[in-house]
């Protein structure tokens, strides 16, 4: 057997083993005019740069530091190909599958959506490596010139592969988000704009690195790269999950993967911060950084919430089949199953977890404050003192360093909670107030989106989750911008007013800038005393008005109180829907069709069966229980 | 084929358990049970039920917007029903779409063209996509090239194929994983007469030689009439009739209260108007229609009565050159059943 035959057979085997989309895309790409033109332009530009560069550099080529400059120009050429052409090619490739009606043909083959996405992505990666191999001789040439820094060049080349991969993934995600022509056209413009932005951003970063050199010896560089890499990986996975979900069959589970990824992102962010504080010590970061991460986490939760709460609560038979049999496990996975009610639960639970984690991190990582013991906090201290002694007993060394650390931590935690309740320790209190307020905003606005979702679905089956998301976002915008209108009208110097409470940004800023005045107990006691005073001398409504004006002077504790009440009300309003959605998983049942929906669709004799809990193992029952997939997105 | 023509699903159908995956020839390979698909207020498919068996070519007929493509897309696991279910080879399209896809090939009305690809590469890609590798994949491609007679065009770019050749290639792509069930949506649309006849022969071969179950939709009823064993007629999302063409005709006659009537035709050399006038006065004769020198009519009498009628025709001096029973065509049945409702 000749070498050619052996190579051919080997390649054939590699082709069999490879992703079929990758094989097809590579064949197509290598034959395409776009690839040929880009490849030839890249080579021609590189030749021209080499020739003209050498001519223009003259003697400087011997003794100057031209290596870096030469590399940078080659690098710009490479970036055009791998950060604009390749990701745009991936975008076009998936979009044309929809335009040419070939995606439907793919979706009925044995290929899973995941394989399709990976195939497209790997074919982009193959093209990146082809462009790298084309420009490699030119970079090798510049390496002989003075001023060529191997570590910085290697770093940039590796990072740009990741950037290309990330942009290709995002482009693929955008390709799946629109099915109608006009939205697809808008998406194309957005993707092209995004790619150009990415290109110029990366070019600026590369220029900074080339000028100042990569600071490999500094600790922060590695921390920043570590965090950057983890963030990249998590968002890459998220984009892939979204793309795969968009391509997944309607009756399949499109939501759980995305929910798990988003939850993992929060976990990673807080683990990263804790790790940083643990390694670098609390002096490396101020408390406001922790509050910053709380704010970022809640923005993340709000965006995710906008998507998960708009989902219909209906569970298709396929999804219901994947509900675990173990009751405990079933309860644990409830928030990760598709549906608006479960989506709200998922967001609220995470908001609570973020709050608790932030308090724990603040209490553990920073110096505990000294709190003068008062009658109010004594029982709380007593409780934590008891926990401390139990912990000391469990660790086996009541006076050892572990116990001291636990004591410090518990003291901090005690101070936080007591400060929050009494308002005695202002700095600690306002941190806690900020944390509680941002969580309340998430609960309120995401809750509102959940209510809108249910209302929209009950109103008409033609109202889709995308419509709900847009309406919910507009409601949020109204809440955020609305209070600004009178403030703008009455002059820029106007102080913060309570009616601006619907704007989370200005409200949080207000609480942050006031540095805490009063606490919840203080608020209640002031309210009670004020009401008693005024009710004795005026009628009820007047007493309420006077109490309100007194409370307005108690500072941000009034805001916190109102937000906490608002969040509580929102939780109560959403409670029945959440309860139903938990029951759906707990009893593994379908959502009963509402009377209104039943009237609208005129479904004969189907809805009566749909609310009956269905044994999973009985295929006959599964089939005879006629599905009502009208709610499937 | 012993199944009955039916226009409505019985309540018993709704209570039946899901069929087990079909192994023997007696089980239907396609079964649609109380299928509904609504798009907002539009009831695209409204309580559709029918069955098709192994080796059967079933025509799926209806005017534009009747719900044919929607039903076929649900069968092909490209859409989800609002209610009801469909089974291919005994597997539910909702519960087991992956299994359904393995035994079903779908040819949509659009070709699904990839640029920068030749015929072999196109088929090779779909063979890979269905999980074929090595020799099995090469054999599958070769088998399809031979069956569709595309061997000569193997290296030709698919961008340059004619409509007829493209449809052959699309059929080849549908057959690449050797499915037991084929769902063909308007395969003959836009083809010239020769290509249509060739495609018709290929489809006929699939059923007779390879025992495939074929569900085919088309507007060209004469074509369908020649290759279909049975048909389902759909209008405004509802099945109006299903069964063999004779059974559908029989149902229509029964509806008109003429269950024993047959359609007869005769041709005369001259004087067809006189024949028409004479025929309408005869017992057992109704619905006389004249086209050229041929007169068609419904006759409710038995064989003896038919003999008497012929004898009387000749006795009247009409120059009869042909006298025969006329089987009701699919076109006749379609026109008789549908009302041209648009939605």
- Residue that has been written with the tokens 């790619």 in this structure: A195
Q: Residue A22, CB half-sphere, CA atoms under 13 Å: how many?
A: 17
CB contact under 8 A, A627 and B77: no
How many Å lie between the alpha carbon of B83 and the closest alpha carbon of chain A? Answer: 5
pLDDT reported for residue A259: 95
Q: Are the C-beta atoms of B48 and B73 separated by less than 8 Å?
A: no
Whether residues B60 and B142 fall in one domain: yes
Judge whether A212 is closer than 8 Å to chain B, CB to CB. Answer: no
- Taking residue A539's Cβ as centre, other Cβ atoms within 10 Å add up to 10
B-facing residues of A in 87-106 (CB < 8 A) are 100-102, 104-106
Q: Name which residue leads in pLDDT, A489 or A44.
A: A44
How many Å lie between the alpha carbon of B187 and the closest alpha carbon of chain A? Answer: 15
* Rounded average pLDDT over A174-202: 89
CB contact under 8 A, B83 and A23: no
pLDDT reported for residue A235: 93
pLDDT reported for residue A82: 94
Judge whether B129 is closer than 8 Å to chain A, CB to CB. Answer: yes
Q: Which of A452, A482, A481, A446 is nearest to A466 (CA)?
A: A452
Secondary structure element (H or E) that encloses residue A359, with its range: helix A340-365
Considering only CB atoms, B83 lies closest to which of A317, A623, A627, namely: A627
pLDDT reported for residue A185: 87
How many Å lie between the alpha carbon of A7 and the closest alpha carbon of chain B? Answer: 15
CB-CB neighbors (< 8 A) of A620 in chain B: 17-18
Considering only CB atoms, A620 lies closest to which of B18, B94, B102, namely: B18
A-facing residues of B in 62-81 (CB < 8 A) are 76-81
pLDDT reported for residue A190: 93
Is residue B157 in some structural domain?
yes
pLDDT reported for residue B259: 57
Minimal Cα distance from A316: which residue of B? Answer: B94
Whether residues B86 and B109 fall in one domain: yes
Q: What angle do CA A157, A161, A162 make, to 5 degrees?
A: 120
pLDDT band (50, 70, 90) for residue A493: low
Q: Which of A115, A134, A119 is nearest to A35 (CA)?
A: A134
Per-residue tokens: A607? 């809805």
CB contact under 8 A, A109 and B126: yes
Secondary structure element (H or E) that encloses residue B215, with its range: strand B213-217
CB-CB neighbors (< 8 A) of A618 in chain B: none
pLDDT band (50, 70, 90) for residue A167: very high
Instruction: Give a three-class secondary structure readout of A389-455.
Output: HHHHHHHCCCCCHHHHHHHHHHHHHHHHHHHHHHCCCHHHHHHHHHHHHHHHHHHHHHHHHHHHHHH
- DSSP single-letter state for residue A84: I
**Phi (first) and psi of residue B87, to 5 degrees:** -125, 135
pLDDT band (50, 70, 90) for residue A564: confident
pLDDT reported for residue A309: 92
* Rounded average pLDDT over A533-553: 62
Give the gyration radius of chain A's Cα atoms. Answer: 30
A-B C-beta contacts closer than 8 Å: 132
pLDDT reported for residue B204: 86
The answer on pLDDT for A561 being more than 80 is no
Count Cβ neighbours within 10 Å for each residue of A166-198 and write b for 16 or more, e otherwise.
bbbbbbbbbbbebeeeeebeebbeebeebbeeb
Give the distance from CA A172 to its chain's centroid: 18
Cα torsion A550, A551, A552, A553: sign: positive
Q: Which of B178, B117, B168, B167 is nearest to B143 (CA)?
A: B178
The answer on pLDDT for A197 being more than 50 is yes
Whether residues B133 and B212 fall in one domain: yes
Q: Mutate which of A626, A628, A633 to disrupt the B interface (most B C-beta within 10 Å)?
A: A626
The answer on pLDDT for A607 being more than 60 is no
Per-residue tokens: A100? 């040419």
How far apart are alpha carbons A191 and A216 in whole angstroms? 33
B-facing residues of A in 499-558 (CB < 8 A) are none
pLDDT band (50, 70, 90) for residue A514: low
Whether residues B160 and B275 fall in one domain: no
Number of domains in chain B: 2
CB contact under 8 A, A318 and B134: no
Cα torsion B125, A98, B112, A100: sign: negative
pLDDT reported for residue B16: 41
Q: Are the C-beta atoms of A603 and A628 separated by less than 8 Å?
A: yes
CATH value at residue B270: 3.30.70.100
The answer on pLDDT for A625 being more than 50 is no
* Rounded average pLDDT over A277-299: 78
* pLDDT tens digit sequence for A16-27: 888 899 999 888
CB-CB neighbors (< 8 A) of B18 in chain A: 619-620, 622-624
The answer on pLDDT for A593 being more than 80 is no
The answer on pLDDT for A603 being more than 70 is no
pLDDT reported for residue A342: 94
Q: Are the C-beta atoms of B73 and B127 separated by less than 8 Å?
A: no
* pLDDT tens digit sequence for A24-39: 988 888 888 888 898 9
- The whole-model pTM stands at 0.76
Judge whether B174 is closer than 8 Å to chain A, CB to CB. Answer: no
Whether residues B212 and B274 fall in one domain: no
Whether residues B319 and B204 fall in one domain: no
Is residue B153 in some structural domain?
yes
Judge whether A158 is closer than 8 Å to chain B, CB to CB. Answer: no
pLDDT reported for residue A200: 92
β-bridge partners, A24: none
How far apart are alpha carbons B201 and B241 in whole angstroms? 26
pLDDT reported for residue A605: 33
Q: In whole angstroms, how far apart are CA A417 and each of A261, A406, A509, A605, B261?
A: 32, 16, 22, 56, 93
CB contact under 8 A, B18 and A619: yes
pLDDT band (50, 70, 90) for residue A159: very high
Judge whether A8 is closer than 8 Å to chain B, CB to CB. Answer: no
Considering only CB atoms, B92 lies closest to which of A601, A623, A630, namely: A623
Judge whether B228 is closer than 8 Å to chain A, CB to CB. Answer: no
pLDDT lower than 70: segments of chain B: 1-26, 252-260, 326-329, 336, 339-343
The answer on pLDDT for A206 being more than 90 is no
How far apart are alpha carbons B335 and B318 in whole angstroms? 31
Q: Are the C-beta atoms of A340 and A368 separated by less than 8 Å?
A: no
Is residue B5 in some structural domain?
no
pLDDT reported for residue A377: 40
Q: Mutate which of A105, A464, A601, A629 to disrupt the B interface (most B C-beta within 10 Å)?
A: A105
pLDDT reported for residue A606: 33
A7 burial (CB, 10 Å; 0-12 / 13-18 / 19+) is exposed
CB contact under 8 A, B128 and A20: yes
CB contact under 8 A, B131 and A626: no
pLDDT reported for residue A18: 84
Asked which of B226, B250, B274 is the last residue of a domain, the reply is B250
How far apart are alpha carbons A624 and B281 in whole angstroms? 55
Q: Mutate which of A108, A318, A607, A614 to disrupt the B interface (most B C-beta within 10 Å)?
A: A108
The residues, ordered by sequence, that sit 6+ positions from A295 with a Cβ below 8 Å of its Cβ are A438, A508
How many Å lie between the alpha carbon of A468 and the closest alpha carbon of chain B? Answer: 17
B-facing residues of A in 429-468 (CB < 8 A) are 460-462
Secondary structure element (H or E) that encloses residue B242, with its range: strand B238-244
Pairing mode, strands B213-217 and B181-185: parallel
Asked which of B187, B220, B250 is the last residue of a domain, the reply is B250
Whether residues B227 and B288 fall in one domain: no
Whether residues B284 and B229 fall in one domain: no
Judge whether A203 is closer than 8 Å to chain B, CB to CB. Answer: no
Considering only CB atoms, B117 lies closest to which of A20, A28, A250, namely: A28
Greatest CA separation for chain A: 109
* pLDDT tens digit sequence for B264-321: 888 998 888 999 999 988 888 888 888 888 888 888 888 888 888 999 999 988 989 9
For chain A, give the mean pLDDT: 77
CATH value at residue B228: 3.40.50.300
Considering only CB atoms, A623 lies closest to which of B17, B110, B121, namely: B17
Q: Name which residue leads in pLDDT, A169 or A178.
A: A169
* pLDDT tens digit sequence for A419-463: 555 544 445 566 777 888 889 999 999 999 999 999 988 888 778
Considering only CB atoms, A16 lies closest to which of B76, B115, B133, namely: B133
Judge whether A604 is closer than 8 Å to chain B, CB to CB. Answer: yes
CB contact under 8 A, A627 and B131: no
How far apart are alpha carbons B21 and B164 in whole angstroms? 35
pLDDT band (50, 70, 90) for residue A547: low
How far apart are alpha carbons B144 and B148 in whole angstroms? 6
A-facing residues of B in 278-337 (CB < 8 A) are none
Judge whether A110 is closer than 8 Å to chain B, CB to CB. Answer: yes
CB contact under 8 A, B82 and A601: yes
How many Å lie between the alpha carbon of B199 and the closest alpha carbon of chain A? Answer: 21
Domain range for residue B203? 11-250
Judge whether A55 is closer than 8 Å to chain B, CB to CB. Answer: no
Judge whether B137 is closer than 8 Å to chain A, CB to CB. Answer: yes
Q: Are the C-beta atoms of A564 and A436 separated by less than 8 Å?
A: yes
B215 burial (CB, 10 Å; 0-12 / 13-18 / 19+) is buried
Judge whether A617 is closer than 8 Å to chain B, CB to CB. Answer: no
The answer on pLDDT for A581 being more than 70 is yes
Whether residues B132 and B179 fall in one domain: yes
CB-CB neighbors (< 8 A) of B155 in chain A: none
CB contact under 8 A, A603 and B82: yes
How far apart are alpha carbons A603 and A625 in whole angstroms? 13
- Residue that has been written with the tokens 């069999």 in this structure: A16
Whether residues B214 and B289 fall in one domain: no
CB contact under 8 A, A100 and B104: no
Q: Name which residue leads in pLDDT, A164 or A223.
A: A164
Whether residues B275 and B237 fall in one domain: no
CA dihedral of residues A277, A278, A282, A284 (deg, nearest 10)? -50
- What is the secondary structure of A109-149 as a DSSP string? SS--HHHHHHHHHHHHHHHHHHHHHHHHHHHHHHTTSTT--
Asked which of B229, B250, B271 is the last residue of a domain, the reply is B250
Is residue B342 in some structural domain?
no
The answer on pLDDT for A613 being more than 90 is no
Q: Which of A69, A318, A87 is nearest to A192 (CA)?
A: A87
Q: Which of A231, A298, A294 is nearest to A265 (CA)?
A: A231
**Phi (first) and psi of residue A314, to 5 degrees:** -60, 135
């Amino acid at each position: 057997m000749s070498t050619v035959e052996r190579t051919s057979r080997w390649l054939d085997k590699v082709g069999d083993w490879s992703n079929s989309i990758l094989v097809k895309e590579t064949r197509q790409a290598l034959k395409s005019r776009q690839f040929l033109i880009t490849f030839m332009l890249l080579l021609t530009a590189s030749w021209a740069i080499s020739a003209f560069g050498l001519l223009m550099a003259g003697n400087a080529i011997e003794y100057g530091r031209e290596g870096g400059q030469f590399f940078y120009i080659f690098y710009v050429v490479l970036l055009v190909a791998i950060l604009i052409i390749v990701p745009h090619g991936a975008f076009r490739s998936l979009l044309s599958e929809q335009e040419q009606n070939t995606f439907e043909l793919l979706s009925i083959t044995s290929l899973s959506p995941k394989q399709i996405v990976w195939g497209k992505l790997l074919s982009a990666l193959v093209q990146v490596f082809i462009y790298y191999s084309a420009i490699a001789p030119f970079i090798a040439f510049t390496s002989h010139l003075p001023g060529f820094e191997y570590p910085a060049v290697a770093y940039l080349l590796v990072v740009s592969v990741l950037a290309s991969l990330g942009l290709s993934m995002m482009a693929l995600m955008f390709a799946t988000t629109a099915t109608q022509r006009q939205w697809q056209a808008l998406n194309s413009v957005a993707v092209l704009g995004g790619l150009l932005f990415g290109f110029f951003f990366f070019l600026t970063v590369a220029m900074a690195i080339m000028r100042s050199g990569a600071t490999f010896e500094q600790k922060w560089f590695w921390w920043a790269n570590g965090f950057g890499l983890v963030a990249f990986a998590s968002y890459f996975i998220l984009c892939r999950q979204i793309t795969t979900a968009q391509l997944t069959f309607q009756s399949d589970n499109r939501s759980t993967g995305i929910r798990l990824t988003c939850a993992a992102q929060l976990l990673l962010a807080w683990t990263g911060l804790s790790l940083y504080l643990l390694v670098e010590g609390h002096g490396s970061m101020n408390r406001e950084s922790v509050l910053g991460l709380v704010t970022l986490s809640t923005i993340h939760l709000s965006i995710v919430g906008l998507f998960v709460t708009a989902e219909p609560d209906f569970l298709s038979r396929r999804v219901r089949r994947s509900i675990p049999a173990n009751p405990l496990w079933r309860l644990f996975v409830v928030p990760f199953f598709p549906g608006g009610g479960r989506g709200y639960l998922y967001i609220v639970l995470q908001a609570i977890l973020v709050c608790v984690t932030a308090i724990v991190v603040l209490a553990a990582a920073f110096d505990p404050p000294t709190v003068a013991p008062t009658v109010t906090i004594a029982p709380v201290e007593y409780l934590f003192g008891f926990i401390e002694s139990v912990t000391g007993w469990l660790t086996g060394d009541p006076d050892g360093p572990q116990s001291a650390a636990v004591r410090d931590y518990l003291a901090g935690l005690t101070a936080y909670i007591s400060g929050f309740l009494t308002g005695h320790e202002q700095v600690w209190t306002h941190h806690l107030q900020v944390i509680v307020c941002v969580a309340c905003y998430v609960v309120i606005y995401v809750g509102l989106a959940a209510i809108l979702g249910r209302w929209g679905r009950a109103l008409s089956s033609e109202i889709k989750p995308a419509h709900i998301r847009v309406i919910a976002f507009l409601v949020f915008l109204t809440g955020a911008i609305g209070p600004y209108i009178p403030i703008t009208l009455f002059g820029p110097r106007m102080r913060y007013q309570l009616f601006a409470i619907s704007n989370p940004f200005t409200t949080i800023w207000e609480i942050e800038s006031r540095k805490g005045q009063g606490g919840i107990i203080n608020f209640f006691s002031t309210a009670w005393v004020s009401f008693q005073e005024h009710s004795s001398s005026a009628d009820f409504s007047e007493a309420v008005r006077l109490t309100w004006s007194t409370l307005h002077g108690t500072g941000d504790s009034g805001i916190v109180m109102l937000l906490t009440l608002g969040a509580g009300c929102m939780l109560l309003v959403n409670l029945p829907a959440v309860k139903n959605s938990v029951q759906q998983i707990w009893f593994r049942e379908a959502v009963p069709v509402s009377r209104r929906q039943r009237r609208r669709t005129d479904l004969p004799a189907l809805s009566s069966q749909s609310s009956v809990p269905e044994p999973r193992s009985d295929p006959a029952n599964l089939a005879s229980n006629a599905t009502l997939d009208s709610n499937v997105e | 084929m012993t199944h009955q023509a039916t226009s409505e699903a019985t309540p018993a159908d709704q209570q039946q358990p899901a069929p087990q995956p079909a192994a023997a020839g007696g089980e239907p390979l396609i079964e649609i049970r109380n299928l509904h698909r609504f798009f907002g207020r539009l009831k695209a498919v409204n309580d559709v039920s029918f069955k098709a068996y192994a080796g059967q070519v079933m025509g799926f007929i209806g005017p534009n917007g009747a719900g044919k493509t929607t039903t076929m897309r649900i069968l092909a696991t490209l859409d989800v029903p609002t209610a009801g279910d469909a089974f291919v080879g005994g597997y539910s399209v909702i519960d087991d779409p992956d299994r359904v896809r393995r035994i079903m090939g779908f040819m949509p009305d659009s070709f699904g063209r990839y640029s920068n690809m030749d015929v072999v590469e196109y088929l090779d890609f779909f063979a890979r996509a269905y999980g074929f590798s090595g020799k099995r994949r090469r054999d599958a491609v070769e088998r399809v090239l031979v069956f569709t007679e595309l061997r000569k065009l193997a290296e030709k770019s698919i961008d340059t194929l004619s409509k007829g050749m493209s449809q052959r290639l699309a059929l080849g792509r549908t057959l690449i994983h050797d499915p037991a069930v084929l769902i063909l949506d308007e395969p003959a649309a836009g083809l010239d007469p020769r290509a249509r006849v060739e495609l018709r022969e290929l489809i006929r071969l699939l059923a007779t030689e390879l025992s495939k179950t074929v569900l085919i939709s088309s507007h060209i009823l004469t074509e369908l009439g020649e290759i279909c064993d049975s048909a389902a007629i759909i209008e405004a999302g509802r099945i109006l009739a299903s069964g063999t063409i004779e059974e559908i005709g029989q149902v229509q006659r029964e509806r008109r209260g003429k269950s024993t009537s047959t359609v007869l035709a005769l041709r005369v050399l001259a004087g067809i108007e006189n024949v028409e006038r004479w025929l309408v006065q005869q017992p057992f004769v109704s619905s006389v229609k004249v086209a050229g020198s041929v007169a068609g009519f419904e006759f409710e009498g038995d064989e003896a009565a038919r003999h008497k009628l012929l004898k009387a025709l000749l006795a009247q001096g009409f120059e009869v050159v042909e006298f025969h029973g006329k089987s009701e065509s699919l076109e006749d049945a379609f026109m008789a059943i549908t009302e041209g409702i648009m939605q």
